Amino acid sequence: LHLACRFGQEGVVEYLVKSNRINIDATARNSDGDTALHVACQHQHAKVVQCFVQSKQANVHASVNVRNANNGNTPFHDACSSTQIDVVRCLVESDKPNIDINARNDKGETGLYLACWFGNIPVIKYLLGLDSGGAR
């Protein structure tokens, strides 16, 4: 699953996530401490991220706020660190109301902080346009 997310293989990810014959643990981590959703966000694959956020599977649902084992980043942190606003929008505007856009990583950084650090103006504008509760 991680490899498919890394290379943006939307069809493979969708099949694996929806398959009843394969037990997929979307909270499984790679050697860097990342879940498959972290990897999809890091590599800016919005359609792959969409497969996760639209899934009704309980184990996939739980992956939205999971933290990286080494730095505490959520997939949202990784999305805000990239240049792909579609990934950020996909996470925020998903039907998973439990996403915490104010989560802090191990250094105390939020997604907005990381977007500012990396000079990601479209993401900064988008996040500042949300109300304080993170509502759409």
DSSP per-residue codes, 10-22: HHHHHHHHH-SSS
| CATH code for position 73 | 1.25.40.20
Classify residue 101: in a domain, yes or no. yes
pLDDT in tens, 47-99: 999 998 888 776 676 678 889 999 999 999 999 998 889 999 999 988 666 78
Classify residue 133: in a domain, yes or no. no
Alpha carbons 52 and 55: distance in angstroms, whole number: 5
The residue ranking higher by pLDDT, 95 or 135, is 95
What token pair was written down for 31? 């050697």
Q: Please, what is the average pLDDT of the chain?
A: 88
Alpha carbons 2 and 4: distance in angstroms, whole number: 5
Classify residue 105: in a domain, yes or no. yes
pLDDT at 132 over 90: no
Instruction: Note down the domain range covering 84.
Output: 2-128
Q: Which of 91-95, 100-104, 113-117, 125-129 has the lowest mean pLDDT?
A: 91-95
Residue carrying structure tokens 């650090």 = 117
Total domains in the chain come to 1
